[in-house]
Amino acid sequence: MNKKIKKILNKKNKSKIICLTAYSKKIASILDNHCDLVLVGDSLGSVLYNYKSTKEVTLETMINHSKSVRLGVQKSLMIVDMPYNTYRNPKEALRNAKIVKKKTKCDGVKLEGGKKIIPIVKTLIKNNIPVMGHVGILPQTDKKFSFKGKKIKESERILNDTKLLEKAGAFSIVLECIETKLSKKITDYIKIPTIGIGSSSNCDGQVLVIDDLIGMSDSNFKFVKKYADVSKIIDRAVKKYKLEVKRKQFPAAKHSFRN
């Protein structure tokens, strides 16, 4: 087993797991100093490309960004989202996951779903491709946003899905927008770590989209917290540049090229 994955597993019930998304080398190199896990999320579809959903993200796009992120990640575990319609069956999933792993040198992949994808998870793990699960809100397929697990049947299904994913060999599971009591129940029950997003502090770790964290997105979800407003910093820098160009203060004479 990958040493970095072992490290993640050992944090269960001991220390919170820190996870953030990254889509480029520079951001990844910063996150690598603070995160246990860096996720190349298909959220890049909305964050970088203004897509209406993650369904529009292609395998090629994920690979290109993941190759960049890999250059900035040395210490953290690097996981790549398998995009929509790239793991519809075990054969397709294995073919595409092998391509992702070979081209990006990632430590594993993340798949959305529960019971239906168990044969796929087993196939990937059998072929030495570590898998992170993802239950609750499934951005690739869910049409409406609503917290999961409030209804008894839904709660039982999600809990069962996490048990199946664990049994199939997943090393951790993302719980997205799952009701507080259920997220605690899942985290207490399964032996692998849970990584929450909008699923309370009951989870073994947390993940956020980096652009939400630094104030570079328009997200208004209550579970998102802005820790900085980088957009204002950029705005001030651009205004200063504009002013200096107009005043002929930039470039300074001593910085100009001379024959």
Catalytic residue flag (residue 176): yes
Burial status of residue 236 (CB atoms within 10 A of its CB: 0-12, 13-18, 19 or more): exposed
Q: Nearest 10 degrees: CA dihedral of 126, 132, 135, 141?
A: -80
DSSP secondary-structure letter at 14?
T
pLDDT in tens, 121-132: 999 999 999 999
143 pLDDT band (50/70/90 cuts)? confident
Tokens of 237: 């820098």
- The Cα–Cα gap between 143 and 136 comes to 13
Give just the sign of the alpha carbon dihedral 231, 234, 240, 245. Answer: negative
Residue 33: predicted pLDDT: 98
Write out the E strands in 86-142. Answer: 108-110, 131-136
Residue 219: predicted pLDDT: 83
Of the residues 60, 112, 154, 176, only one is catalytic, namely 176
CA atoms within 13 A on the CB side of 9: 16
Topology adopted by domain 3-228: TIM Barrel (3.20.20)
Average pLDDT, the chain: 96
Residue 91: predicted pLDDT: 98
Q: Is the pLDDT of residue 254 over 80?
A: no
